[in-house]
Amino acid sequence: MSRPLPDATLITPQVLRNWRLPEPTGGKEARGSILVVGGSTETLGAVLLAAEATLRSGAGKLQVAVPRSVAGFAAQALPEALVRGLHETEDGAIAASAAEQLADLVERASAMLIGPGMTDKEQTRHLVEALLPGFDGPVALDALGLAAVTADPTCLHQLTGRAVLTPNPSELAISLHVEPDEIEADPAGAALRLAEQAQAVVGLGGATSWIAAPDGRLWEDQSGGAGLGVSGSGDVRAGVVAGLLARGAEPAQAAVWAAHLHGRAGERLAARVGRLGFLARELPPEIPRVLAEVDL
């Protein structure tokens, strides 16, 4: 028999105003350095969307690591970033052996995002397992970045609560080794289960977003709309989480704020472009405007 769920806090602008993000001070160094690791030769766009979203959310410095063969394209698309080309597999995915190439970037990072656009489950799992030990900042794992958690939910315990997972419902089902119907029947309960198992914050996307903390706290966000169900939207949301982590937000705070910022960005585009048909690449420029609205 499943346990009764705790009361969920509905995320509103007032809730966010009562839980203010760290105030930016000084230059880019004071707003943190984010390292985004992801992409493949076929899915470079995912990491580009996430990377831009980190800066739009207020991170100060951007480091991006992608397969070597597409690093030049990433550098052109992200002139604000330091771009590192990594060892890749024959299929164009980031190889686990790339961990040694990332050592200096990890050392300089305030926070990491791993997973957007990655395509080789085993290579990604081993890369995550290699990067986590010794890193003392917060980490966001998105998409295939959750492969290490799927294999061993306790692998994040070493981070002592500094991880945020950003699955969609299908990815959450895979991580919990259950059928998608079980997630659909009880998304909040499933998010809480993974949060407890992994000792990490879980930000579950969907028509309603659920944010679950390992201590049992639960938040619900109903902003957004059908237009957010589009390729790349989840990559943007993961990037917002990571950007907020880099600028100093605590993990639950970053996931809660990101859910609302992402949803409200979608609502703004729906009003201007149309309920359906706006693109994920149009979401990041809306994030600073939504941040300004919340700060009113």
Q: Whole-angstrom Cα distance, residue 132 to residue 155? A: 9
pLDDT of residue 3: 61
Q: Whole-angstrom Cα distance, residue 284 to residue 160? A: 30
pLDDT of residue 159: 96
**Per-domain residue ranges of the chain:** 26-294
| Backbone phi and psi for residue 37, each to the nearest 5 degrees, phi listed first | -115, 120
**Cα Rg, the chain, nearest whole Å:** 17
pLDDT values of the chain reduced to their tens digit, one per residue, 296 residues? 456 777 999 999 999 999 999 987 666 666 899 999 999 999 999 999 999 999 999 999 999 999 999 999 999 999 999 999 999 999 999 999 999 999 999 999 999 999 999 999 999 999 999 999 989 999 999 999 999 999 999 999 999 999 999 999 999 999 999 999 999 999 999 999 999 999 999 999 988 999 999 999 999 999 999 999 999 999 999 999 999 999 999 999 999 999 999 999 999 999 999 999 999 999 999 999 999 999 87
pLDDT of residue 26: 61
Distance of CA 15 to the CA centre of its chain: 21
Has this prediction a pTM greater than 0.85? yes
Tokens 């149009």, residue located: 282
pLDDT of residue 54: 98
Q: Whole-angstrom Cα distance, residue 254 to residue 26? A: 21
Strand residue runs (E) in 8-152: 9-10, 33-37, 61-67, 81-86, 111-114, 139-142
Closest residue by Cα to residue 281 from 230, 244, 207, 247:
230
Tokens 């085993």, residue located: 122
CATH class of the region 26-294: alpha beta
